[in-house]
Amino acid sequence: MLEFAEWLGSTPLSIAIQSRLWLTPLLQTIHIVMIGVVFVSMLSVALRVLGQVRTDEPLAEVWHRFAPWFWTALGVMAGTGVILTISEPVREVSALSFWIKLTLIVIGVASALYFGRTVATGAGVGAVTSVYSGRARVVAVATILLWVAIMFLGRWIAYDVEIWESWHLA
Amino acid sequence: MDLTPLVEAAQNSALSEWMRTSLKAVAIINALHVLAIVTVFGTILIVDLRLLGIPNVRRSFTRMHHELLRWTWGAFGISAITGVLLFMVNAVTYHRNTAFWLKMATIVLAGINMLVFELITAKSAPSWDKGVIPPNAARLAGALSIVLWVAVIVFGRWIGFTKGYDFTIPEDVQFDFSAPAQ
């Protein structure tokens, strides 16, 4: 892969694109800044469940603090992600990382929707000082790991062959 | 100061060689680097926005700042370690890469901004701990911090698009796109 990247990077066509095409790095940068917002929003809520931050606030309030940031940044990520995929479709669809990442995003979004709904109905949210049970803590840790995995897989689209070897889809 | 011998030693080290030959290592270290830097950015962003009064100034600044500090520093430590490792993989290339040095300079500026805030501005924090819009110096530190850390990410991504090709193409070079003679 390194050799391929070096070869591709040295082709005249690639150099011509690099000297003009600011769009891909710009979109990737926006994508990374936004995953920072998405991840840290989820992390804050999860760490609240784990009793690490904002224990002076009810969980529902922590969720309401971060939910708009989470959903807005996720929307921007979806937009930049779609454009990036269109610009290099073969690279994306041939990457196993890409498909696992999409699957995990579906799970992450579904669980965030479910959590938001649960918080809205006031069920299981508890009082200001509530300490959460073992099960809630497991879910919080799982949520952190899910978003960490999504980030790893996103970065690994560029390293798909190295990571998955013969499981790479091309 | 000529860093070339140090940079070459880093690249010729056994560790660097191992990372280059075990390509999984670079992928994993790189992913960790991204995870760490977005955590640094995101946790600092929460503090920066609070300084700017976004979304509000209801919570104690001292408390939220204190809670997040260890996450920010923990993530910064991981970013720095993984960053040094990634640098070692292609040290000679990065050493002459403009985006790399812009990124380093921006991290230094973000550090100076943080030091000025922590050592001077934050001394008055008890008087604007909650329910009050922080003073201009604090708001400026917050705004600067957001701009600088976004710039760190911009230059970081830029490195990936410029490493090894950090030169301008001479005007008189003619490219031949025709198929090579068999």
Structure confidence by residue, pLDDT tens digits, A37-70: 999 999 999 999 999 999 988 899 999 999 999 9
Chain A contacts of B39, Cβ < 8 Å?
Answer: 36, 39-40, 43
B101-155 confidence digits (pLDDT tens): 999 999 999 999 999 999 999 999 999 999 999 999 999 999 999 999 999 999 9
Beta-carbon count within 10 A of A135 CB: 8
Residue B69, Cα to own-chain centre: how many angstroms? 17
What is the reported pLDDT for A29? 96
Residue B181 lies in a domain: no
B16-53 confidence digits (pLDDT tens): 999 999 989 999 999 999 999 999 999 999 999 999 99
Residue B174 lies in a domain: no
pLDDT band at A16 (very low <50, low <70, confident <90, very high): very low
Angle between helices B14-21 and B23-51 (to 10 degrees): 100
- In the predicted model, what is the mean pLDDT of residues A68-88? 91
Residue B179 lies in a domain: no
State the distance between the two ends of chain B, measured CA to CA, in whole angstroms.
50
What is the reported pLDDT for B82? 98
Higher pLDDT, B105 or A2: B105
Token output for A80:
């930049």
Nearest CA among B82, B179, B69 for reference residue A152: B82
What is the reported pLDDT for B2? 84
Nearest CA among B45, B42, B66 for reference residue B55: B45
Residue B120 lies in a domain: yes
Q: Please tell me whether residue B147 adopts helix, strand or coil conformation.
A: helix
Chain B contacts of A24, Cβ < 8 Å?
Answer: 161
Alpha carbon distances (Å) from A120 to A63, A113, A141:
10, 10, 22
Beta-carbon count within 10 A of B54 CB: 13
Higher pLDDT, B180 or B40: B40
- With an 8 Å Cβ cutoff, the interface of chain A facing chain B consists of 1-2, 6, 9-10, 12-13, 15, 18-19, 24-25, 28-29, 32-33, 35-37, 39-41, 43-44, 47, 52-54, 56-57, 65, 148, 151-152, 154-156, 159, 162-163
Distant-in-sequence, close-in-space partners of B34: CB < 8 Å, separation ≥ 6:
A32, A151, A154, A155
Per-residue pLDDT at A145 exceeds 70: yes
Q: Is the Cβ pair B165, A57 closer than 8 Å?
A: no
How many domains does chain B contain in total?
Answer: 1
Give the least confident one: A7-11, B67-71, B171-175. A7-11
Per-residue pLDDT at A2 exceeds 60: no
- In the predicted model, what is the mean pLDDT of residues A154-160? 95
Higher pLDDT, B150 or A129: B150
Residue B172 lies in a domain: no
Residue B77 lies in a domain: yes
- In the predicted model, what is the mean pLDDT of residues B150-162? 93
- In the predicted model, what is the mean pLDDT of residues B157-170? 72
- In the predicted model, what is the mean pLDDT of residues A23-36? 93
What is the reported pLDDT for B91? 94
Token output for A94:
């041939």
Beta carbons of B26 and A159 less than 8 angstroms apart: yes
SS (H, E, C) B52-117: CCCCCCCCCHHHHHHHHHHHHHHHHHHHHHHHHHHHHHCHHHHHCCHHHHHHHHHHHHHHHHHHHH
Structural domain of B68: 4-162
Residue B47 lies in a domain: yes
ipTM reported for the complex, 2 dp: 0.88
Beta carbons of B67 and A47 less than 8 angstroms apart: no
What is the reported pLDDT for A126? 56
Q: Is the Cβ pair B63, A25 closer than 8 Å?
A: no
Residue B169 lies in a domain: no
Per-residue pLDDT at A143 exceeds 80: yes
Q: How far apart are CA B66 and CA A13, in angstroms?
A: 51
